[in-house]
Structure 1
Amino acid sequence: MARGKAPKILLYGMMALSARFSKNAAFHGTDPRLRGKTYAKACANLLDWNQVSLTTIQACVLLGAIAVTEGNSASENIYYAVACRIAQLLDLPNCKMESRVEQEINIRTWWSLCMIDVWSSTGVRLPRLLPPKENVSLPIDEVVFLGMSRDRGFDETIQTSRNSSLLAEMVRLNYILQQINDFNIRVAESKLDSVAIQGDLEDLSSQLDRWLDELPDHIRDTRENLERFSALGLGRVFVAIYLGYYHFGQMLFYRFLHEDSQSTSLRTRHYANKCKEHAGRLCDIVYASETVPNCDAKYNMVGHVLVIASTVQIHSLLFESNDTNVALAKERLEKNFCILTQLCAVWPTLDVCMDRLMAFHKACRESADTSFCMDQWMVRFLVEFASPVTDKTSHASDGSQWSLAELGITSD
């Protein structure tokens, strides 16, 4: 492989994921969701399972992401599992390299796998493959990293601040997500009593608050910062951080939506409002990303988190008494529906997300009082993002098409 050039297997994998967005005339008349199939097949054909290398890890990550687009969770997890095992065999973050940039690539790849592992294993309810390692450095600042070259050895002084790294903040957040997923599963399986639930909830809530409080000013969720990272070519990474933070918050406090509609407890109201705040801010960062160049979030996971945020808006429509809040929820639902429709045009797996939203809405029509209850169906709805869900009630699906009009929402 020539230095600085990606192997064909990686190029095919990247083309398989990105061709859907191409405006090249060669794709005219071809369904965006089908454009990557030829490249995906070429990538898979070039994969050598016996090659224990960084390239194989990267190829497996790409092929896993391709499998996600098709809703093939089994293949997704197999590819990711192979990537994780090869990284362990190589001791990827600690193996000796010839240059500082190669070492940093290994570190960033390792942490990316750790984050993928939490998402993918939770989605199929399997044990995680990569246990935390305390001897692995967090990724360095992206601007510094992008300015490095392979010609630089270890002797040259390089500013390696980890207090301004976007990827490092994702890593810290991902550790909290792992705990939130475990918490929701244990609560749904009735493995925690009320005292334990309260203790764990307060601890996780504090962890989210502490993460936000400790952020340096230049990484905080402001329009100015979004525009600054956009100018650096890092706008989409910045948006991804807050999509994660707001989604993890709505996941943690979601259970209180049901309790809020059933009681007058101030504690319950406080946590239910926190869920609504996280869901609302998630919507807002998506809307903001579409107004700043090179910040738009078009990857398929956006569809899943927007579906969850949309169900929170449905809760406000059903139970909110404040007219201003009801109007805001209606406006967000309209915008989310448009965004989800656009995303569905390029990502096949988001058909499942729309079906899941339809199943949730059907549950609300049949029993609004119980549709937000944090039972095992709801946990599956929240975390198994690529898997279809059955109706929450025993009634068979009528096969009707879901639309905003069913909630009395029109675009007039």
Structure 2
Amino acid sequence: MESLYGAQAIRMIQLRRLQTCLSTNKLQRETEIRVWWNVWMWDCWESAGSCIKQQLTIDPDFPVPMEEHAFERLDPSIDHLEFMIQSDEVTSRQPGLWAQMIPFTEVVAPINEIHELTVQNRISDAELFDKIEGIADKLETWKLNLPSTLHVTPTNLAAYSSTGLGRTLVALHTGYHHFSQLLYYQFLHQSTSTAAGRSPQIVEYARRCRSHAADLSNLLSRANSTPGCECRWLMVGHLLAVSSSIHLHTLLFDDDEIQIRNVKKMLRQNFEMMMELRQYWPGIDLAISRLQVFHRTCQQSMDTAFDMDYWMLHFLQRFAKPISDRYTAILPEMDHHATGLPEIHGSIGDSQGQAFDYRPWLDLS
């Protein structure tokens, strides 16, 4: 149903030709700009999740959404003549929170392309590292150029939540950490193989992946405990599933007791947030069942569970679809090295009709 509504939204803005025919009324114009960019962002996510070609392309001359408070102060009575003669229009029209989401939303397709080239074995190590560094530079440049008023601090969270924009501020940083954890994800497997000994870069990329996963989990937990900043969107379930899978990697391969204790805490937090989301989105069970299948994969073969193949590609990108067991031929077998993982069985049905009891995760200590 979401895909149907999204497709209708895309067709409507195409028929309206919003990129070339914006209204001359200032408020209407800014509303049209925000509508176009919101649909574009949905198109980026949906095309990635459904493996279809993106429909909307960016015109470099098309304006980005203005600062939110300035948008809220716009007077609907201002006509086009007053709009055109405002001498400070260019300088006063500062980009807002939604505008800041555009640069890292643009990396969705390149990250997916890297994963697909890796799975198809159509990219050399040199090309892979070059592409990774290019995207990493874009993400870090965005972070460095972010105004201090848009950083996640207690002061900023309180300020934005008081004006109804706390959730948007959190969504901004949630996207940054999610795309970053996706960018480095494939190096988790390589970091525990012989390749890691040959390349400190692989070890560093894996460290960044774990760091962003931790930042994402802690950010969402912090936001959900801050009135006006709670993140209760269905898509959060997929983000939590991916970050939880990264925490599982640490749980399996790290021997640092402090790190293990921290990831157990984050796994508990993630599951508590998923259970809270179930109050609003029954569809969250899909994300939970996908994580359950991932967990079984770790139990069956921890040495290959994080290998970047078509199954992993499906787990990371096709978030709107269920995933099947990775090792269907060895379902009864369990990797004895992975016995430290909590058993999962019991209450929420997954796509294979098996059940999922989240309580052992909440009892991690």
Please say whether Structure 1 and Structure 2 have the same fold, judged by a TM-score greater than 0.5: yes
Question: Is this contact kept in 2: 1:93–1:103, CA < 8 A?
Answer: no
Partner of 2:38: 112
**What does 1:4-403 align with in structure 2 at a 5 Å threshold?**
67=1, 76-154=2-80, 155=82, 157=86, 161=92, 163-262=94-193, 263-264=196-197, 265-395=199-329, 399-403=354-358
* TM-score, structure 2 normalization: 0.87
> Is the 8 Å Cα contact of residues 300 and 343 (structure 1) preserved in structure 2?
yes
Q: CA deviation at 1:111?
A: 0.7
Aligned residue for 2:52, secondary structure, equals coil
Deviations 1:103-142 (A, max 9, x none): 0111111111111001111111111100221121111000
Q: Cα 1:324–1:404, aligned 2, differ >3 Å: closer, same or farther? A: farther
Q: Residue 274 of structure 1: CA displacement?
A: 0.3
| CA apart distance, 1:391 | 0.8
Task: Check whether the contact 2:234–2:281 (CA below 8 A) recurs between aligned residues.
Answer: yes
Q: How many residues are matched?
A: 336
Residue identity matched to 1:194: D
TM-score w.r.t. the length of structure 1 is: 0.78
Question: Structure 1 residues 105, 224: CA separation in 2 closer, same or farther (over 3 Å shift)?
Answer: same
1-structure distance, mates of 2:243, 2:363: 19
Structure 1 residue 149, shift from structure 2 partner: 2.6
* Equivalent residues of 1:249, 1:275 under 8 A apart: yes
- Please give the secondary structure, in 2, of the residue aligned with 1:372: coil
For the Cα contact (< 8 Å) 1:77–1:121, is it kept in 2? no
Distance 1:250 1:329 in 2: 15
On the 8 A contact 1:162/1:168 being kept in 2, the answer is no
Q: Residue 17 of structure 2 aligns to which amino acid in structure 1?
A: D
Structure 1: tracts of 5 or more residues without a match: 1-66, 68-75
Contact 2:67 2:94 in 1 (8 A): yes
Q: For structure 1, which segment, 233-242 or 219-228, has the greater mean C-alpha deviation from structure 2 after superposition?
A: 219-228
Please give the per-residue CA displacement for 1:25-75, whole angstroms capped at 9, x wherever unaligned.
xxxxxxxxxxxxxxxxxxxxxxxxxxxxxxxxxxxxxxxxxx3xxxxxxxx
> How far apart, in 2, do the equivalents of 1:90 and 1:372 lie?
45
Offset at 1:331?
0.5
The AA in structure 2 aligned to 1:349 is G
- Any stretches of 5+ residues in structure 2 without a counterpart? 332-351
**8 Å contact from structure 1 (residues 123, 383) kept in 2:** yes
SS at match of 1:211: helix
Q: For 1:173, what is the secondary structure of its paired residue?
A: helix
Report if aligned partners of 1:123, 1:386 keep a CA contact under 8 Å in 2. yes
Over the residues paired in the alignment, what is the CA RMSD in angstroms?
1.8
Work out the CA distance in 1 between the residues paired with 2:234 and 2:41: 16
> Is contact 1:304-1:353 (8 Å) kept?
yes
Counterpart of 2:151, as a letter, is R
How far does residue 402 in structure 1 lie from its aligned partner after superposition? 4.2
Which residue of structure 1 lines up, in the alignment, with residue 337 of structure 2? none
In structure 1, the residue matched to 2:343 is none
Q: Which runs of 4+ in 1 moved over 6 A?
A: none
